Amino acid sequence: MHYMTVPIFKKKYGSEAACLKALLEFRMNGDGLCFNPLCKASIDKYYHPLKGRKAFICSRCLKHVYPMAGSIFDHSHIKVSDWFYIIFKMLYSRNGISANEIHREFGFAYRTVFKMLHQVRGLMMDCLDFELANSVVEIDESYVLTGNKGYGRHFPFTRGRGSLRSTSILGIIERRGIAKFIVIPDTSATTIIPEIIKNVPTSTLIYTDSWGAYNQLKSLGYKHAMVNHSKYEWVDSNTGASTNSAEGAFSNLKRCIVGSWRNVSPGKLQNYVHEQAFRHSYRFEYDYGFEILMRCFPPLSDVYGEKRKAA
């Protein structure tokens, strides 16, 4: 499968004018008509760039429309073309990118870049609203190192599953499909089961390992099969149950944290895992999900007042 390359992306979105026009198209009404409810002019035909402003003007009703309004680009001194490239860079990067990397490449202040990346991750969170009905998902839990707590010689590490320097994450991974990562306080049944009920419908077939927190899934109406890793079994020969996809997704997430993001605070961890979940979910898209992400902005009709009434 061929994917969009950086030269192709820059050819399509390399100028400020091209990015503003694309942003307008991403956020236009479904009918493609002017955002003025009293005007029925076609946006493609009657909207023209307004000289000296990051806006378009309707040549029929003279309405001004700013494609950046109500988005993460609004009131930003960063060019839209730079925003677009940074977002594309986040999506095609296998191991994620750090704020320092963007700071060194573009020369923006570190605090500015840090805020930009978290705004993009928040947009990714809004896009990750999936339905898992009638599918096959693998559910697993794992731990990631967060903050810099626990690196001293005399830190009192705990025994067993996780430690005081780790944060628990629940992974819900659809086979060859979408991913959800949820930061959880612990891996007990009282924590995991409510998250499964909230995110996974009962029509879904669930594969897990033999951790005891999943034992009550069948009594809750789920179709559930387990693989026993303690017996060095990675795929159950009878049911086909495995958690290999979930473990692979966790491996990529941990590679991002250890290799690129480095020091991740527990308070920001959910934003980071949303980024990796979005990247995993749209990994088969030609543009790595760039256009899907751009269409997650609220439509400009919501920004510019009353929606068009049906005739």
* Residue 265's CATH number: 3.30.420.10
* pLDDT tens per residue across span 190-226: 999 999 999 999 999 999 988 889 999 999 999 999 8
81 shares its domain with 187 = no
* pLDDT tens per residue across span 72-129: 999 999 999 999 999 999 999 988 899 999 999 999 999 999 999 999 999 998 888 7
If you average pLDDT over residues 279-304, what whole number do you get? 91
Q: How far is CA 117 from CA 37, 83, 153, 187, in A?
A: 35, 10, 34, 29
* Residue 173 DSSP class: E
Would you say residue 84 lies in a domain? Answer: yes
pLDDT at 130 over 90: no
148 shares its domain with 274 = yes
- As a whole number, the mean pLDDT across the chain is 87
Would you say residue 73 lies in a domain? Answer: yes
146 shares its domain with 270 = yes
pLDDT at 243 over 80: yes
Confidence at residue 152, expressed as pLDDT on a 0 to 100 scale: 55
Would you say residue 41 lies in a domain? Answer: yes
176 shares its domain with 106 = no
Burial of 274 (0-12, 13-18, 19+ CB in 10 A): buried
186 shares its domain with 268 = yes
Would you say residue 308 lies in a domain? Answer: no
Count of domains forming the chain:
2
179 shares its domain with 101 = no
Q: What is the pTM of this model?
A: 0.88
98 shares its domain with 142 = no
The residue with tokens 């704020």 is 99
The domain in which residue 165 lies consists of: 136-281
Confidence of residue 229 (pLDDT cuts 50, 70, 90): confident
